[in-house]
Amino acid sequence: MTDIFWNDELQRWAMDEAPTQSNEYSSSPEGAASTIASKNIVSERNRRKNLNDKLLELRGAVPRISKLDKASTIKDAIDYIQDLQEQERNLQAEIMELESESLKKDPGFDFEEELPILLRSKKSRCDQIYDHRVPMSHPIKVHEVSHSLELD
Amino acid sequence: MTDIFWNDELQRWAMDEAPTQSNEYSSSPEGAASTIASKNIVSERNRRKNLNDKLLELRGAVPRISKLDKASTIKDAIDYIQDLQEQERNLQAEIMELESESLKKDPGFDFEEELPILLRSKKSRCDQIYDHRVPMSHPIKVHEVSHSLELD
DNA sequence: AAGCACACGTGATGC
DNA sequence: TGCATCACGTGTGCT
């Protein structure tokens, strides 16, 4: 029962792995149809594989994982991003505070020359690439979006 | 041509929306089969919808978007997370620097009392929830993972 | 046993 | 035109 299925599957695998190249559009119209169908199948497989790998990568970038399914992976990533953004705001506020504090005690203090060049330049570079001082009220919860993108 | 397809689709919609409830397992075995099939279909739809919404939310949390397809969405999220992590490391290093600088000039300075309580406590809370001082060498590229999770 | 999460092939659509 | 992306229904496995 499952044998024919298995044979079919293995045949597809072999066909996919080795393009054989003998006869594209093997002279019969049905052959053409099945050929384009096969191409579609392979493309889809690659697309799915790529998506899965990306998701695994994303999971690798997020330290705290709740569950192992796709939805949770994305959810955890969202929460993590939000926490990182909040953390960054806090750290920046803290830096402002420290700088002003230091300035109060020692007016005319130049911070740009104080810190190691590497740190400063790196930070500046990031800020230029994109300015992620996120807007205070962050529109994370998107209830209705322009329905241009829908996912599988 | 597409008319029959549309009729079929609308029929399914109606069937899904209104369970009709008249006869579960409508006495015929084929009816039972089609019923469980329908349940499967609806579950799948909900699952897909949920996943798409999550992905849109993720896109909403990421400021810089390259393209509008699923793979790019995830990719952008990964890059963004890594940038945020690097940024956080830099900011923290900067704070350390500033604190030690301030300490040099004024030994016995208590930072815990200096900053507004709100900022300090918030930051501490985040650090408790999870300690994301990421390990210096970060294992983003996962080549071989326990193959328990694969995505659609 | 019943529900959930998944991978797959397929047809449609857009560039 | 072909190629890429998508949503869908279906079968399978795990719990």
Compute the average pLDDT of residues B56-83.
Answer: 97
Residue length of chain B: 152
B55/B52 Cα distance (integer angstroms) = 5
**Least confident residue range of B38-47, B112-121, B141-150:** B141-150
Tokens matching residue B142:
């996962």
Closest C-alpha to A56, from A39, A73, A76: A73
String of DSSP letters for B20-66: --S-TT-SSHHHHHHHHHHHHHHHHHHHHHHHHHHHHHHHHH-S--S
Q: Using the beta-carbon criterion (under 8 Å), do A114 and B134 form an inter-chain contact?
A: no
Q: Which residue is listed with tokens 């929830």?
A: B129
**With left for phi above 0 and alpha for psi between -120 and 50, is residue A18 left, alpha or beta?**
beta
DSSP class of residue B69? S
**pLDDT(A59) > 90:** yes
Looking at residue B54, its pLDDT comes to 97
Q: Identify which of A86, A101, A142 has the shortest CB distance to residue B126.
A: A86
Confidence of residue A4 (pLDDT cuts 50, 70, 90): very low
Q: What is the mean pLDDT of chain A?
A: 70
Which are the contacts of A27, defined by CB distance < 8 A and separation ≥ 6? none
Q: Is residue B128 pLDDT above 50, yes or no?
A: no
Task: Tell me the three state secondary structure of residue B152.
Answer: coil
> In which band, very low, low, confident or very high, does the pLDDT at B73 lie, cut at 50, 70 and 90?
very high
The residue with greater pLDDT, B61 or A29, is B61
Contacts of A123 in chain B (CB under 8 A): 87, 90-91, 94
Instruction: Yes or no: say if A69 and B54 are a contact pair by the CB < 8 Å rule.
Output: no
Which residues contact residue B98 at a Cβ distance below 8 angstroms, ignoring those fewer than 6 apart?
A95, A98, A99, A102, A111, A115
What is the model's pTM?
0.71
Alpha-carbon span B16 to B46, nearest angstrom: 12
The pLDDT of residue B13 = 56
Residue B98 above 80 pLDDT?
yes
Q: Is A9 on the interface with B (CB under 8 A)?
A: no
Distance CA A128, CA A120 (A): 12
* Surface-to-core class of residue B84, CB atoms within 10 Å of its CB (0-12 exposed, 13-18 middle, 19+ buried): buried
Question: What span, in angstroms and rounded, lies between the C-alpha atoms of B113 and B120?
Answer: 9
Residue B82: name the closest of A99, A34, A80, A53 by CA: A80
pLDDT value of position B10: 52
As a whole number of Å, the CA-based R_g of chain A is: 27
A136 pLDDT above the threshold of 90: no
Question: A95 contacts in B (CB within 8 Å)?
Answer: 91, 94-95, 98
- Gap between the Cα atoms of A84 and B91, Å rounded: 12
CB under 7 Å from strand D = A 2, 39-40, 43-44, 47, 51, 149-152; B 9, 12, 37, 40-41, 44-45, 48-49, 52, 68-71, 152
